[in-house]
């Protein structure tokens, strides 16, 4: 979702973000807090970006999906159904 390389998966999102070229309001919000801005600054390094992305994908792959009566589809994403 970055305008400079919309057809490729690359590490250009964070450099564009720091140049205030994010597409969404949520992109700009990442720069308003020191912690998230620091992470964005670290991820300008493409090697760091791809390493972090790969680790995130591995962690997501380890999440077990709850199916049937063990899981639930939330009516509102931020609130557990009552």
Q: Which residues are annotated as a binding site for Ca(2+)?
A: 2, 10
Tokens representing 79 are 């609130």
Annotated binding-site positions: 2, 10
CA dist 14 to 11, 27, 47, 56, 62, Å?
Answer: 7, 10, 13, 16, 26
């Amino acid at each position: 979702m970055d305008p400079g390389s919309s057809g490729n998966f690359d590490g250009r999102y964070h450099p564009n973000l720091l140049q205030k070229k994010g597409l969404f309001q949520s992109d700009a919000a990442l720069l308003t807090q020191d912690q998230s801005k620091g992470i964005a600054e670290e991820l300008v390094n493409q090697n760091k970006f791809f390493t972090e992305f790969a680790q995130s994908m591995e962690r997501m792959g380890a999440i077990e999906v709850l199916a049937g009566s063990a899981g639930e589809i939330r009516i509102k994403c931020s609130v557990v159904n009552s």
